[in-house]
Structure 1
Amino acid sequence: MLVIVALLAVVALWVWWTYPRVGNVLFELIARVEAWRSGVKAVTVPIKGMTLATYQGGDAHAPALLLLHGFSADKGVWLGFARHFTPDYRVIIPDLAGHGKNAFVAGGDYSIDAQARRMVALLDACHLDKVHVIGSSMGAYVASWLATHYPERVLSLGLIGAAGVHLPQPNEVEALVNSGDNPFLIRNRAQFDRFFGMTMAAPPFIPEVLLAAEAQSYIQRREELTEIFANFSDSPRMEPWLPQVRVPSLILWGREDRMVPVASAQTWHQGIPHARLEILDGIGHLPMVESTEQTAAHCRELLEQAKVYASIRP
């Protein structure tokens, strides 16, 4: 009997130890398949002081589209979305510094200004003068910084669930952060499940083995994410610069967004009065994942508007 119990204990320990690792392998395989389906390849781009992991695809001579992910995410969130654009655009999807395949460096400066400067360096390294840029959450913060501080590099601006302005009403995440319980900084699986539940109102099916791997990744990266969060959340808010945005712009929000309240969309819209505002019912913080085709359709309208704007701009 003791032998059986011991064997069961060994099996249970082995499953506990390997389960997230299996998920990591599956994540990598799925990402490769999705990248292939979207027509992008992994490309490492050296810039000053570091290298940036990217996905790139599409016609090298077509207009360029830069896609920027949010805090704690990576370039993989854009893969399903990207396949709607690679037939007509040169698509570039970087991991922001400290995220994804990019090594974290303590004291590396993860402010919005620094992340935007790295994107300018990426464009230079890719020999691109101008791009359309679409960002999600913190990536939208970086995108708006690019449009206001490097306007000569931006053709159009898409903001999805954008962080970067003062919140106009109490918010669940802000309340948790102020109480010392930042939902992004995860210590255990229960906290991860709470965080994941906040990210999407209509998430696609994700197998448990992948969720286990993602939970382990967040737990292991907790100290790194703490520093990155402090750097980006201490960055200047965008309100003073928003009237400087001159390019065609889209503000896209999920009405059920628990990470950044939908009321924030009005702040962005008041600051960029020419921007088009679209709010998606039944959708949370990641519309490009939750409602990929609908989000892509709105963004394609933005890019078509930018074509018209470019044709009549003096």
Structure 2
Amino acid sequence: MIHFDEYGNRDNPTILLLHGAAALDTFCGQYGFAEEYHLIVPHLYGAGKSAGKVYEPEGMKREVLSLVDSLHKDKIGVIGHSLGAQLAVMLVCERPAQFYFAVFLSAWVNPAPKTVKMYSRMAGMMAGLLHWKRLVRFQGKYWHYTKAQADYMAEYSKQMTPQIYRSFFENTLDLRRLPVYSAVDVPMLAICGSGEVKDMKTSLTLLGSNPHCRTMVLSKAGHDFPMRKADKLNPILREFISGVKAEEKKSRTAE
């Protein structure tokens, strides 16, 4: 089974946190939710204990679903960022009945061939940069990681290869090839930052085509807003999750 980190009491409602590409502790600013929830953070391909694995979405999806099954819970929530948000979309499309809410943060689901080609050409250089411990630690500090989190990222990032880095982009989810998404009736929230690229904002519009997915743009925020803007994001997440729980309670009462 895929390796995972765990925070909080297992008796509490579970939230699956799917980190961004090569950034295991993407949700460092949300780990405080463990006071109320049981948090599960799988080590997705290209990060942590899975750092040496090339990202392959179908295989990744199967491993995460096996982890979800092992929890033996009727329903859980899922929050994903960037690559993890793409995976979150795939999960709720595959098994909507297992999720009582889903949040997609900066989910790029509109892969333009030119953009994919550009990032793929940069793979060698970017993989090389991730071998510089000082640079990776500095990045972790910028993202408000603890020293231990930044040191760990610097350690596992040494396994990054051009092939792994390239796989993050070559396997980008294209929502237009996932027609089942339009029928998903899970309460969903999609957010991107106001400072993100046009493709990301187009992706937000595509996600919002499902009437059960609310969308919003976070002001003065870039792609790394879960780490850099946790003070703005966390109240939004709490309000959304509380609203979903209230609607579920109302529905059960009506029955």
- C-alpha distance in 2 between matches for 1:259 and 1:220: 31
2:28 is matched with which residue?
79
Instruction: Work out whether residues 81 and 293 of structure 1, in 8 Å CA contact, stay in contact via their aligned partners in 2.
Output: no
Please say if residues 252 and 277 of structure 1, whose CA atoms lie closer than 8 Å, have aligned partners that are also in contact. yes
Q: Which residue of 2 aligns with 1:278?
A: 216
SS across alignment from 1:81: helix
Could you tell me which amino acid in structure 1 is paired with residue 92 of structure 2? Answer: A
Q: Secondary structure at the match of 1:267?
A: helix
Secondary structure of 1:62's aligned partner: coil
Amino acid at match of 2:31: A
Aligned residues: 249
Give me the TM-score of the superposition, normalised by structure 2. 0.80
One-letter amino acid of the structure 1 residue matched with residue 122 of structure 2: D
2:135 and 2:202 map into 1 onto residues whose CA distance is: 22
Contact kept? 2:221, 2:229, Cα under 8 Å: yes
- Rounded to whole Å, the distance in 1 between the matches of 2:102 and 2:134 is 32
Alignment partners' CA distance in 1, 2:91 and 2:159: 31
Change (3 A) 1:69 1:298: same
Counterpart of 1:177 in structure 2: which amino acid?
Y
Residue 12 of structure 2 aligns with which residue?
A: 62
Structure 2 unmatched runs, 5+: none
CA shift for structure 1 position 185: 3.6
> How far 1:204 moved relative to its partner?
4.7
Cα distance change on mapping 1:194 and 1:301 into 2, 3 Å: same
Report what 1:187 is aligned to: 128
- The letter for the 2-side match of 1:72 is A
Matched, 1:254 2:193: yes
- Letter of the structure 2 residue corresponding to residue 187 of structure 1: G
Larger radius of gyration: 1
Partner of residue 288, structure 1: 226
The AA in structure 1 aligned to 2:242 is E
Asked whether the equivalents of residues 98 and 104 of structure 1 are also in contact (C-alpha less than 8 Å), the reply is yes
Could you tell me which residue of structure 2 aligns to residue 11 of structure 1? Answer: none
Q: Could you say which residue in structure 2 is the equivalent of 1:130? A: 75
Rounded to whole Å, the distance in 1 between the matches of 2:17 and 2:145 is 23
Q: How does 1:46-195 map to 2 (within 5 A)?
A: 47=1, 52-74=2-24, 76-83=25-32, 85-102=33-50, 104-105=52-53, 110-167=55-112, 173-174=115-116, 176-177=118-119, 180-182=121-123, 185-188=126-129
Among 180, 183, 186, the alignment partner of 1:241 is 180
- Tell me how far 1:192 sits from its aligned partner: 11
Q: Is the 8 A contact 1:163 1:260 kept in 2?
A: yes
Could you tell me which amino acid in structure 1 is paired with residue 91 of structure 2?
L
Q: Distance in 2 between matches of 1:192 and 1:77?
A: 18
The percentage of aligned residue pairs carrying the same residue is 23
Distance 1:260 1:101, change over 3 A: farther
Answer yes or no: is the 8 Å Cα contact 2:116–2:170 preserved in 1.
no
1:159/1:251 contact within 8 Å kept: yes
Determine the C-alpha separation between the residues in 2 that align with 1:192 and 1:255: 31
